[in-house]
Structures are given as C-alpha cells and as structure tokens.
Amino acid sequence: MKLVYTLSEPQKRALALGEGETVWYCVPVDLAFDNKKKGAEVAYADSTWIIVTDLRLAVLEGDAKTAEYKLADCEKIKCEHQVYSGILTVFGRDGSTSCAARFSMRHIIRVAYVARGAQTIIDACGRGRKLSEADRVTSREYEKYCEKCGRALPGTSQCPYCDGKADMLKKFMALCGEFVGRLLLISVLLLFIAASSLLTPMVQRWFIDEALTDGSGTFTQLCWFIGISFALLVGSLSLFIWRYWLCAKLGASISMSLRRKLYHKIQGLSLSFINNRRPGELMNRVSRDTRQIREFMEGVFGDMLSTLVTMVVSLVMMFIISWKMTLLSLVFVIVVMLVTRAFWHHIRTIFHRQWLKFDDLSSSLQDIISGMRIVKSFGQEERESARFTEKTKDFAAVQKKNETFWATFFPILTFLLGVGTYIAIYFGGIHVLEGEMTVGQLVQFVTYSGYLFGPLSWMTHLPRQVMQMMTSLNRIYDVLDEEPLLADKEDSKAFPIKGAFCFENVSFGYQTYEPVLENISFSVEPGEMIGLVGASGTGKSTLINLIMRLYDVDQGKILLDGCDLRDIQMESLHSQIGVVLQETFLFSGSILANIRFAKQDATLEEVIRAARAANAHDFICKTPDGYNTYVGEHGYNLSGGERQRIAIARAILNDPRILILDEATSALDTESEFLIQQALDRLIKGRTTFAIAHRLSTLRGASRLVVIDKHGVAEIGTHNELLEKKGIYYGLVNAQLKMSETAAPAETA
C-alpha cells in the first residue's frame, strides 16, 4: 500500500519544507470539517492531505495548510475508529488532545500506517536516536482501489480495467511463446482448413453455371464435382481432427505448466500472503482457472485464426461479386459491433461477480468438510447445511441472472447478423431475375455471406469466452507476479548453527500499524532452554514465528550466532530447526512418510531411532502395519498423544540444533504427557530450545523464563529469581496453584 504520494507544486509551497527536512509519509484523506454548516457537520474534501516529515505533522486542504504539529511536542499520534469513519488524534506532551484529520473507512488502514510511522519518529527522537531508513514503516497491504480509475480492485494487485489489459495480453503471448512450435503447426493447419472451406463455393459456382443452369452438363462434370467436393470435405475433416488433437494437447500442456508454476510459487510465498487468501480461492486458481485456460486453447484459440482468414477472404470475394449487396449486408454487422461494445463492461462485471461467489462457496465447503468433527460434536449439521444452502442459493441466483442475460443477448445478436443473409438473398434474387447475376454467383455470394455472418455470430459469443480467459489469466498471474516477502539474499550464508540468539529492539506486527511485539531485547546462549510465559495473545507464538523466520521483523534485528537471521539461507536455517506445535498436523499417508517429512532421504534405522527417542516406537509396532500404517486425514486414526509423539519424532529426525516447542504437552492425558515429557527431557539436552507452555510445571527444566506482557519483555530470569521479584510470573504461579488446590477437593468429592 502506497504511503508516499506526490504533492503538487502549490501544495509543496504551502507545506514549506525547511532546510534538511524530509517527507516520510504523505497520504490523501477524503473527509474534512466544515464548521460553516451546522457546527461539526462533515463534508467530503476535494483534496485533503496528511503529511509527516521528520519534524512535524501537517494537514493540507487544497493548497492551504490548515493544521501543523511539531513531533517534538507530541506524546502520541493515534488512528482511532469511529462510526463508519476514523480520526487521526494528536496527544500533546502538555496534556492537550487534537483531532488532526477525518477520513472514511476507505482510508483508515493507510492512515493507521502513517500514525504508526509518526509514532516511530516520536519514539526515536525521544530517545535522542538519529532516524534511519530502518525506522520507516512500510505496508504489506494490497491497494484496495485503483489509483487511476478509483474502482475497487477485484482481489488482485493490478487493476484489470487500466493496466491489466495490455499487460495480460503480453503475458498471454509469453505463455504461448513457450509452445511456439506447436502453435506454428496449428496455424498452418488452420490456413489449410480455411482454404478448403473457401474453395467449396467456387466449385459450386462452376458446376451450377457450367452444368446445371443451361442443362448442358455431362456425367463427367458431375463426377468431377462430386470427386472434388468429396476430396475437399475429407481433407477438411481430416485437418480439423488433427487440429483439434493438437489444440487439446497444447491446452493440456499449458494447463499443466501453469499448475506447476502456481504450486511452486505458492510454496515459495510468505505466510502473510497465504493467510490473506481463503483456501478455496487459492485452490480455484490452481484448478479451475488453469482449466479455463485449457478450455480456451482447445475450443476457442484453435478456431480464431481459421475463422479470421475465412471471414476476410469471404468479405473480399463478396465485394468482387457485388459490392452493393456486400455494403447492404454489412449494415447490421456494424450494429452488432456497437451493441457488443456497449455491453462489454457489463459482461466482464457480471461474470467476475459470479466467480467471486464461487470462490466463497468453495472456501465454505472446504471449511465445513475440514471441520466436520466439530460440526457433528456440537450437533450443528442442520445449521451448517442451511448456511451452505444459502451460499449455494446466492451463487445460483447470480449464475441464473448471468445465464439469462446471455441467453437473451446472444440470440438477439445472432438474429441481427442473420438479417444480413436475408438481405443478400433478396437483392441477389432480383439481380438474377434481371440478368445481372448468374445463379452460380448468387449461390457463391450467399455461401460466402454465410462464411462471414456465421463466424460473426460465433464471435458475438467470443467476448464472454475471452473475458473468462482473461479473468483466469489475471488471477493466475496475480499469484505468479507476487514477490515473496522472505527471500534469500545473493550473499546469504549457510553454516552449522550453534544456537546463540540475540534479540535487539525487535518490533513486529502482522499488520505493521498494529505491533504485536515491541522493543524485544534479550540474549540466549547455545544449549539454553528458554521458557516463554505470558497470557494468551501477548505474542509468544509470534516470537516463535520470528525465530523460525516465517516472518521478518519490522524493526530491530535477530542475530543467530552473530549473523542477522535475514542473512542466513532459509533452507539451511529450517533444516537445523525442529518444531513441535500445539496443533499437530499429520499428512494423509503412512507413519513412516510423516516422520520422514523433515528428512526425505532418512533411512529406516534413522526413523526408528527418532521414534524411540520420542517414545513412539512401541505404539507404532502395535499398529496393524507398523510404520506403514495409514494415519488418515490429519492423522485422525491416531490419538492426540500418538500424533504428538510422531510430531516429536519428525522434529528430531534431522538432529536439529534449535528446538521449538509450542504447547507440546497441552490437552493430553496424564500418561501421554508423561511419555512426551520424558522424550522432551532427553531431546532438549545440547540444543537451544524455545518452549511455550501455559502449564508452568512443564517448564521446570528451563534455564531461564521470559515473561511477555503488553507486547514486550516484562520479566526475565530463572524460576526462583522471578518468584523473588513477586511480579507477573509470581502472580501466574500463584493463580495456577490456587486452581490446583481448588480442583483437588472437587475431584475427591
């Protein structure tokens, strides 16, 4: 999302930048105060701007500066939600509060980023620290509206109404360029097909004028006519079958190529991109959109060249035979072109809306099927069925409306084009009766007019097919053109990790303007076990995500063995990290395949060794097929404790130097927890371990505990040190002890 817009020259003069002063953020807003109308009534502003420099925050309305605040005098700048709008509030160090600007919900995210950026400048100046480029807040959000036309973007990063058309055409040609050999062969076949079709009317004219009209025809002429017509028919049919086979093969190859590229690209994109897209939407882009490209290449692209050649040559021949009749016939062609052009945007809009409804329907279906166990547990089958039925009705209503429109629109165009043929027959008949044209010429003209108006009728259907293909191509390349936020640098390093971490003023938010962690600083020695403690939502799992480099920090840096995490090759980093999460995910397949997921070339002996270390070998041997036992979807054929132990075996298979434990023993029975805790006690030795646990007793072996509260590190130390401080950790321990004391008499009773 763009955070620095360009001001006009009058606006720059009104802002009056001082020497050395730099604009950090400049964004437009759309609501302004108009005190001349009923007090605080709000009116839409023509051009209101919020500008943040390294010294001040200014508001411009038009070419005039209406407000200005020195950042040195500000304590806090905050973007606040109101009813259907938002306000930018400035809190002064003297206790004053001022509303600097107002804006609709359309701009609230952008202004929230600017408010966060301004607050970063205030905090840096308050500490006497010089600003650097690392202090600049950047946005990972997509633009919601096109800057040129103002239309809402249809879930893509590029506007299909402005830059998208030419860009998509180039990408389509580049896509076809990979199969240029097949395309040339198909093109040659199409030219031969068109030629055979165009020769048929000439043969018909010769036979009618030379043999039938005056009754002087011979048996030999009849045989020649039948033989030539049959040869043209068989040749055209053979070429058509060969062309269809080549187009089908080409469409399948392009579809396969796109699916492979899409899947590979999705695997390389960051979690933030995946999480911002619904699963059904991504699935449709890989499956349905690529299928749409294949169907276009098979059924439309293959006919376009031959149709175009046939139409052009037919039009030329019609002009040669009778230019007057041709001009009369073309009147309705112009009408059809104008009508199609007028409805082009409407066709594009209604079918794009239909596809969005289908995305929503697919995502809803996947959610329900994936969560069927929860649905049945709460007895919500009827409610979910009713909810899915409503979504189906919505999609059916849109689809019915679109198909009704097309079922009406297309026959009207076909009828208008058919009128041209009737005009040709009428005036041609008059010319024959008056002796100005032979019967053969009339038949030839009518046949060519059919070759012209028939494809034109087909081409009136073409906008819908092209629109569907372009929409699919736009959605596909929206993913393919996405640049991953996390990528290896050219000089990134790969080395054996020892496990020493250093967090230096780390700040991060899944949305930059809403930080989850702020100014996190602490160090970890190799082999230490660090317990992360705190209430839910304080950022413990977020810190784990940063350690695994699933996200990059917004500010500050994380050093691993003295090297910035962003300078380490991600494959090298992840190959030396083992992860056991609270929600264990197993893939559909065998136990052996799930354990081997972390190291595909692991031997059976290595797998068994890892399973023994995770206390999983004994129960695996009791399963029907041992290590080849099928675990089912998400591992539902196994108990929670069994799934967790397989996850532990998977995590330690490649002997990681860093171990991540995110509530690894939560929600388990006592026996399973004991077995898993035994395995974990063996595994953490000699490894740098980060463990999250709400049950504080599971962190008894931790070297130090880090208490996270209010987005930052509140306390850090050993168990005894934190108890002596009698701070947040002390309160958590007492709360759990009281809960245990309360639960014990209840169980006894």
Helix (H, G, I), strand (E, B) or coil at 669: coil
What φ, ψ does residue 502 adopt, rounded to 5°? -140, 120
Q: What is the pLDDT of residue 150?
A: 64
**Mind spelling out the 3-state secondary structure of 474-540?**
HHHHHHHCCCCCCCCCCCCECCCCCCCEEEEEEEECCECCECCEEEEEEEECCCCEEEEECCCCCCH
Which residue, among 656, 624, 663, 657, has the nearest Cα to 640 in the 3D structure?
A: 663
Q: Which two tokens stand for residue 223?
A: 């045989």
Q: What is the pLDDT of residue 217?
A: 59
Bridge partners for 692 per DSSP? 532, 662
What φ, ψ does residue 51 adopt, rounded to 5°? -120, 130
Task: pLDDT band for 672, please (50, 70, 90 cuts).
Answer: low
Residue 569 has pLDDT above 80, yes or no: yes
The enclosing H or E element of 263 equals helix 219-268
Q: What is the pLDDT of residue 90?
A: 92
Please give the average per-residue pLDDT across 224-250, as a whole number: 79
Rg (CA), the chain: 36
**E strands in 313-435:** none
Q: What is the pLDDT of residue 747?
A: 47
Query: Are 256 and 294 spatial neighbours (Cβ–Cβ below 8 Å)?
Result: no
Residue 158 has pLDDT above 70, yes or no: no
Please give the average per-residue pLDDT across 693-699, as a whole number: 72
Please give the average per-residue pLDDT across 510-520, as a whole number: 82
Query: Are 183 and 298 spatial neighbours (Cβ–Cβ below 8 Å)?
Result: no
Task: pLDDT band for 673, please (50, 70, 90 cuts).
Answer: low
Query: Are 484 and 269 spatial neighbours (Cβ–Cβ below 8 Å)?
Result: yes
**Tens-digit pLDDT profile for residues 312-331:** 887 888 888 888 787 877 77
Which residue in the block uniquely carries the two structure tokens 């933030």? 272
Query: Are 702 and 530 spatial neighbours (Cβ–Cβ below 8 Å)?
Result: yes
Q: What is the pLDDT of residue 218?
A: 66
Q: Which two tokens stand for residue 122?
A: 């205030």
Which residue in the block uniquely carries the two structure tokens 């390349």? 477
Q: What is the pLDDT of residue 40?
A: 38
Residue 529 has pLDDT above 60, yes or no: yes
Which residue, among 442, 14, 421, 478, has the nearest Cα to 277 in the 3D structure?
A: 478
Rounded distance between C-alpha atoms, residue 349 and residue 355, angstroms = 10
**Tens-digit pLDDT profile for residues 94-122:** 888 988 888 888 888 888 888 888 888 88
Please give the average per-residue pLDDT across 295-299, as a whole number: 79
Rounded distance between C-alpha atoms, residue 532 and residue 529, angstroms = 10
Query: Are 529 and 515 spatial neighbours (Cβ–Cβ below 8 Å)?
Result: no
Q: What is the pLDDT of residue 502?
A: 93
**E strands in 71-123:** 74-82, 85-92, 97-104
**Mind spelling out the 3-state secondary structure of 205-247?**
HHHHHHHHCCCCCCHHHHHHHHHHHHHHHHHHHHHHHHHHHHH
Q: What is the pLDDT of residue 503?
A: 92
- Estimate to the nearest angstrom the gap between the alpha carbon of 378 and the chain centroid: 32
**Tens-digit pLDDT profile for residues 327-385:** 877 777 777 778 877 777 777 777 777 877 877 787 777 777 767 767 776 677 788 88
Q: Which two tokens stand for residue 305?
A: 């060249």
Mean pLDDT of the residues in the chain: 79
58-67, 433-442, 456-465, range with the lowest pLDDT: 456-465
Q: What is the pLDDT of residue 214?
A: 59
Please give the average per-residue pLDDT across 83-102, as a whole number: 88
Q: What is the pLDDT of residue 560?
A: 92
277-281, 384-388, 524-528, 539-543, range with the lowest pLDDT: 277-281
Task: pLDDT band for 147, please (50, 70, 90 cuts).
Answer: low
**What residues contact 11, with CB distance under 8 A and at least 6 apart?**
49, 60, 63
Residue 576 has pLDDT above 80, yes or no: yes
Sign for the CA dihedral angle at 345, 349, 355, 358 comes to negative
Task: pLDDT band for 748, please (50, 70, 90 cuts).
Answer: very low
Q: What is the pLDDT of residue 699?
A: 77
